[in-house]
Amino acid sequence: MIIQLNGIEETIDNNLTIYDLIALFKEGDPDLIVEMNNKYIPSKNFATTYIIENSVIEFINPNLGG
C-alpha cells in the first residue's frame, strides 16, 4: 500500500501497525511522536494502531534540537 511518511511517498506491506512502521524505518528515538492523518497517536497505541492506505504519517523527533 502507499502512504506518505514525512512528506515522502512510501510503499509498505498491508496490515502494518505504527510499531511495525517504526521498526521498518529503523526509527530509534525513544521519545518519538507520531501523527497519522492529523491525529496524535499515543505511544501506548503504536502496537494496536493499523495503517490504512493513503495515510499521511509524520515522525517527529523532539530531541533533535534546533
Per-residue model confidence (pLDDT) at position 47: 98
Q: What is the CATH number of domain 2-64?
A: 3.10.20.30
On the question of pLDDT at 66 being above 60, the answer is no
Q: What is the value of pTM for the model shown?
A: 0.90
Q: Where are the domains of the chain?
A: 2-64
Per-residue model confidence (pLDDT) at position 36: 98
Q: What is the pLDDT of residues 14-65, one digit of tens each?
A: 999 999 999 999 998 999 999 999 999 999 999 999 999 999 999 999 876 6
Per-residue model confidence (pLDDT) at position 64: 66
Closest CA to 13 of 57, 58, 38, 50: 50
H-assigned helices in the chain: 18-24
